[in-house]
Amino acid sequence: TASRNVALTVDSSRRAEPKSPPSSLSQQAEPTGDLLAIEALVNEFYHPGTSNARKHTIEGQLQQFQRTPHSWLLCLQNLPRFNNQYFWFFNVSTVEVTIQQRWPALDEAARVQLRDALWATYAAFSHDIPGMQRDKVAQLVALVGKRQFPEEHPDYMSQVLELLKSKFTLGVTLLRATSDEITSTKADITSERQKYLSYCVSMYLPATFEILQRYAELCINRTISKNGIASMAHLPAPFGDDSRLEQATTDLLVCVQQIFSWAPLDNVTAPEFFQSLFMLARWNEMYNDVSISALTTISELFYRQKPLPLPTVIATGVIELLQQPTLKLSNELYQDKLTELLRLFTTQQWV
C-alpha cells in the first residue's frame, strides 16, 4: 500500500467519484485549472476502485505539486471551502508542509502573505465550524506565530487575545494551539528559540487570565448558580446556547490545563481565576464532565512540582471541595479525580 503522506483519515462514506487526472502536473496552467486537476487526483486516490499501483503514481504527482514554489498560495484559496473533505485536507497538508519544511526559503513578502491569509481565513470562520477544520487551521496559524513572534509579528499575542474576546471558540482554540507549540517536541525550531517563545508568550499571561476569568464567570453563572442572567440573547456564543455550554466550558478548562503545564505563574496574582476553577470543580450532576475537567485542570498545577501560585487560595479551594455537602452523591470518576488532587496536594504541601 502506498504511504499516506498525502492521505488523511475522514469519513469513508463521503468518498467522491474520480475524475480524469491531468496528463502532466508539470504543465503550466491557470491556477483554477491546476486546482481542478489536483482535486481530481485526490478524488481518484481515495476512490475504492483505485489500485495500489495507481495510488502510488498519484501520490508521487501530488507530492510533486506540493514541492512547486507557489502550491501553498493556490491551496490557501481553498481553506474556507469544506465541500470536499479529502481535497480540503490535502490543501491544509500542502500549507503545513510549506510552513514546516520550506519556511526558510520563503521571502519576507511570501511569509507575510501566507500569515495574513491564514489569519483572515481563521478569523472569518463562524463559531460553529466543524471542530476538525477549526483545530487544523488554528494549528497552522500557531505554527507561523511560533516562527514570527515577536520579531516579525509583534502583534501576534495581542491578536490572539482580541480574537478570544470577540469569538470565544476560535480564540480559545488558537490560544491552546499556541500553547501546544510551546510544549511541542518537534525539532522545527531550536530549543533556544522555543524557550524565548515561551518567555514572550508568558508576558501576556496576566491579560490572558483576565479574559479567561470573564468567561469562567459566565460558565459558573450558567452551570452552577444561574443567577444574574436575565437574558441569554446578549451572551457571547456559545454561552447562550444550552446545547453547546458544556463543550464551551470544557474547551476553556482544557486550554487552561495546557497553559498550566508549562507557564510560569508567578506574575498571575489575582485570586479570582483560581477561585473560579474551584467553583467549577464542585460536583454538578447536570454538568459532571465540567466538574471532572476542572479537577483535572487544577491537578495540572501540582504535576509540575513547582511552587504554587497563591497557595492559600488553592489550599482553601481544596478544603472546600472536601467539605461539599453533595460529595457523597458524586460518581466514581469524580471521586477518583478528587482523591488524586488531594494526594498531590498533601504530598507537595506537607512532605
Mean pLDDT by 10 residues, the chain (351 residues): 39 37 36 81 97 97 92 92 94 96 95 97 92 96 98 98 97 98 91 95 95 95 66 70 91 97 85 96 96 98 89 95 95 98 87 49
The CA-atom distances, in angstroms, between 264 and each of 205, 277, 307, 308 are 9, 18, 10, 10
Amino acid at 82: F
Residue showing cell 504530598: 347
164 near 175, Cβ under 8 Å? yes
* Domain coordinates in residue numbering, the chain: 1-105, 205-350
Q: What pLDDT is attached to residue 225?
A: 65
Q: What pLDDT is attached to residue 170?
A: 97
On the CB side of 170, how many CA atoms lie within 13 Å of its CA? 23
Residue-level length of the chain: 351
Q: What pLDDT is attached to residue 232?
A: 55
The total of other beta-carbon atoms located within 10 Å of residue 315's CB is 13
Q: Is 207 helix (H, G, I), strand (E, B) or coil?
A: helix
Q: What is the rounded distance in angstroms from the CA atom of residue 252 to the CA atom of residue 277?
A: 10
The total of other beta-carbon atoms located within 10 Å of residue 7's CB is 19
Q: Count H helices and E strands in the chain, helices first.
A: 15, 0
CA 134 from chain centre, in angstroms, equals 8
Q: What pLDDT is attached to residue 246?
A: 94
Q: What pLDDT is attached to residue 194?
A: 94
Query: Using N-to-C axis directions, what is the helix angle for 85-101 and 52-66, rounded to 10°?
Result: 50
Q: What is the rounded distance in angstroms from the CA atom of residue 164 to the CA atom of residue 25?
A: 41
Q: Is the dihedral of CA 243, 174, 73, 3 positive or negative?
A: negative
Query: Using N-to-C axis directions, what is the helix angle for 31-46 and 52-66, rounded to 10°?
Result: 150
Q: What is the rounded distance in angstroms from the CA atom of residue 72 to the CA atom of residue 65?
A: 10
Q: What is the rounded distance in angstroms from the CA atom of residue 129 to the CA atom of residue 233?
A: 20
